[in-house]
Amino acid sequence: MARILITSALPYINGIKHLGNLVGSQLPADVHARYMRQRGHEVLFICATDEHGTPAELAAAAANQPVADFCAEMWGMQKRIADGFRLSFDHFGRSSSARNHRLTQHFAERLSGAGLIDEVEEKQVYSNADHRFLPDRYIEGTCPNCGYERARGDQCENCTKQLDPTDLINPRSAISGSTDLEVRTTKHLHLRQSAMREHLREWIDSQSGWPILTTSIAKKWLDDGEGLQDRSITRDLDWGIPVRKGEKPWPGMEGKVFYVWFDAPIEYIAATAEWADAHGLGEAAWRRWWRTDEGADDVRYVQFMAKDNIPFHTLSFPATLMGSAEPWKLVDYVKGFNWLLYEGGKFSTSQGRGVFMDQALEILPADYWRWWLLSNAPEGGDADFTWENFQNGVNKDLADVLGNFVSRVTKFCRARFGETVPEGGAPGPEEAALAAELDAKLKDYERAMEAIEIRRAAQALRAIWVAGNEYLQRAEPWAKFKTEPEAAAMVIRTALNLVRLYGVLSRPFIPDAAEAMLAALGLEADQPWPEDAASALDALAPGHGFETPEVLFAKIDDESRAGLEARFAGDE
C-alpha cells in the first residue's frame, strides 16, 4: 500500500469557476484520488480557496461586503459546488487560515535567515484615479515579447512570459482603465529565486516521466535569462498575511502583507494541518505527509494544475521549500493541463460566455459533465467545448453505450426471470473470449490510470462498456430464451455481473451512476477492484436480488441543445 498526497490548484475566491477551471485541476485530481483509494492506497486529497490579493478586495467592494465576510461566503459557495461535482477532497481549506498565516511567516523568516530574501526599494505603479498602488495583475498593456494587447503586469497569458508592469507598452489600470499612472518608490521583500537556479535545475533534471507540458514550461523558465527572476513576495494591501518576524512586525515592512503567489501554495501544507486539526489528530498526523524527517520520505506527492500555474509549482514553490533548509516534501509528479476553450474562444464571466460550475449543475447532474470533461481533457493540447460535442458525448457514450446496456439487461431479466440473478447454463467459449477481452482492456485501463493519462483512461473504460454491448449482441439472449432458456439465463447472469463490474470500474469517472448501478444490485459502493475478468463475471451468485434502476442517463435532444447554445453564447 502506497501513501499518495494529491493537491489540485487552489481556485481563486473572487467568483464561481468555469468548466475549464474544473477540468484543469480539481476534476482530474479527483479521478486520481478515487482510483488510488479503490486500489487500496492511503490517499490524502487536499485543496483550498486562494483568498488574498487585490481581486478579492475588489470583488468584496463590488459586493458591498467586508473582504473577510465576502471570502467566507464564497468559500461556502465553492465548497457546495465542489460537493455537487462529487469532488472527494479530504479537506477543502482556506489560504486565509491561521495555520497559513503562521506557516507563511515561518517560511519567510527561514528564507531570510538563509540569505534568500532582500529588502529592495522598487518602483511600483500608482493609479491616481484609483488612489492605490496597482498590483501587477491589475495593470494591463501590450506585451513587449509577443504583442498581445491584454497582457498583465505579472505575466502574459498569451506567451507565458513573466513580466514587470514597467515592461508593458501603453499600460493602463485594469480597474478603471485609466492611463493616469505614475511610478512611486516603495520597499518590498524579494525572494532571491535566481540564487536557487542550479538547485532547481538539478532537481527538475532528476525527475523522470513528467508530462512534456510540465517539463517544457519549467525548463523554458529556467533557461530564459529573464524567467527565474528575483521576485517580490510582499504587497501594499490591507487584506492578506501580515509581514512579521515571529510575534513582531518585520522592520520596514509595517502595513504590508505577503504577496498571494507566495502564500497560496504554502496553503497546501497548512490545509493538511487544518485537516489534522479538524479530526483531532495532532501535529504528527500532518507532518508525516510533509516532513521527510517524520515519515514523508515514502509519500508520492502529485499536483494537478493548468499550464499557467506550472512555473509557480515547479520553480517558485520548490524554491521556497528548498530555500528554507528544512526537510519538506517536494512534489514527485506535476500533471499540467492546457486550456479548455468554449466554442472556439475563451470563457468570459463579464460577457456571460460559457458555462460556469454552478450553472452546469442546474442544467444536468454532475456525471454528465464529469464524463465529457474528462474524456476530452486538454492534455495534449487545448480542447474545445461545444454543445454539439457535449450532446454527442452524452448521448453516444453515456446513454447509448452504458445506460442502454444496464436498462436492456435488467429489464429483460425482470420480464423473463424475475428480479433475481437467474440460474442455469454454463459459460462457454463466448464467455471465455469475453473474459480474455476484458482482461486485456482492464489492463489498458489500469495502465492509463496509473500513468494519469485521463483521456486514454476514459477511452479504455468506454471500450470495456462497449465489450459488454457487443457480447450481448452476439449472444442474443432474447433469441435463445425461446429455445434454450438456460443458455439465455447464463448470458443474462454474465451481463448482470458486467453491470456490477461497470459500477466498480466507473466510480472514478461517474461516481453517482456507479453507485446507482451497484445499489440496484443490492451492493455497497465500496466493492473491491477486480483481480481478473473471469472472477468478476461470476461475482453475483444465482438468486441474488436486484432492482431495475431508473434511466441512468437521459439523452439531450436537438431542441435542448440549441436552447443551451443560445443561452450561453454571451454578448455579441
Rounded Cα–Cα distance for residues 82 and 88 (Å): 8
Say how many residues make up the chain.
572
CA-CA distances (angstroms) from residue 208 to 63, 201, 445, 533, 561?
A: 47, 13, 22, 32, 44
47 is in an annotated binding site: no
Widest CA span in the chain: 91
Q: Which residues pair with 341 in a beta bridge?
A: 384
Number of other CB atoms surrounding residue 387 within 10 Å: 21
Rounded Cα–Cα distance for residues 225 and 317 (Å): 19
| 458: Cα separation from own chain's centroid | 16
Number of other CB atoms surrounding residue 535 within 10 Å: 11
What does the DSSP 8-state code read for residue 44? E
71 is in an annotated binding site: no
146 is in an annotated binding site: yes
- The amino acid present at 439, given as its one-letter code, is D
Phi-psi region of 344 (alpha: psi -120 to 50; beta: other; left: phi over 0): left
Q: What angle do CA 60, 316, 121 make, to 5 degrees?
A: 75
* Cell numbers 472556439: residue: 344
3-state secondary structure string, 420-437?
Answer: ECCCCCCCCHHHHHHHHH
Rounded Cα–Cα distance for residues 309 and 373 (Å): 20
Written as nine digits, the cell of 431 is 464467455
Show the beta-strand stretches assigned E in 309-412: 333-337, 340-342, 383-385
Number of other CB atoms surrounding residue 417 within 10 Å: 20
Annotated binding site: 143, 146, 156, 159, 349
Query: Residues annotated as binding site for ATP?
Result: 349
> Which residues belong to the annotated binding site for Zn(2+)?
143, 146, 156, 159
